[in-house]
Amino acid sequence: MPQSQPQSHLPPSERVSVKRLAARGVYDPEQIHAILDAGFICHVAFTVKGEPRVLPTAYVRVGGEIYLHGSPSNQMLRSLIASPEACVCVTHVDGLVLARSAFHHSINYRSVVLFGPAREVGDPECKRAALQALTNRIIPGRWDEVRTPNPSELKGTLVVGIRIVEASAKVRNAPPKDDEEDYALPIWAGVVPLSVVARQPIRDPRLPSDIAQPAHVTAYLKEHEA
Q: Is residue 211 part of a domain?
A: no
| pTM for this model (two decimals) | 0.90
pLDDT digits (tens, 9 = 90+) for 189-226: 999 999 999 999 999 999 999 999 999 999 999 999 87
pLDDT tens per residue, range 37-48:
999 999 999 999
Whole-number percent of the chain with pLDDT over 70:
96
Could you report the per-residue pLDDT of 168-186, keeping only the tens digit for each? 999 999 999 999 999 999 9
Cα 15 to Cα 87, 127, 137, 145, 205, distances in angstroms: 12, 31, 29, 43, 50
Whether residue 32 lies inside any domain: the answer is yes
In a domain, 78, yes or no: yes
**Residue 216, domain member (yes or no):** no
Which residue segment(s) compose the domain that 151 sits in? 14-179
- For the chain, how many structural domains are there in total? 1
The answer to whether residue 83 sits within a structural domain is yes
Tens of pLDDT, residue by residue over 91-106, are 999 999 999 999 999 9
Q: How confident is the model at residue 17 (pLDDT cuts 50, 70, 90)?
A: confident
Quick check: is 46 in a domain?
Answer: yes
Could you tell me if residue 58 is inside a domain?
yes
CATH number, domain with residue 130: 2.30.110.10
Classify each residue of 50-67 as buried b or exposed e, where b means 16 or more C-beta atoms within 10 Å of its C-beta. Answer: eeeeeeebbbbbeeebbb
Q: Is residue 194 assigned to a domain?
A: no
Of 114, 107, 111, residue with least CA distance to 92: 111
Residue 6 in this model has a pLDDT that exceeds 80 = no
What's the confidence (pLDDT) of residue 200? 94
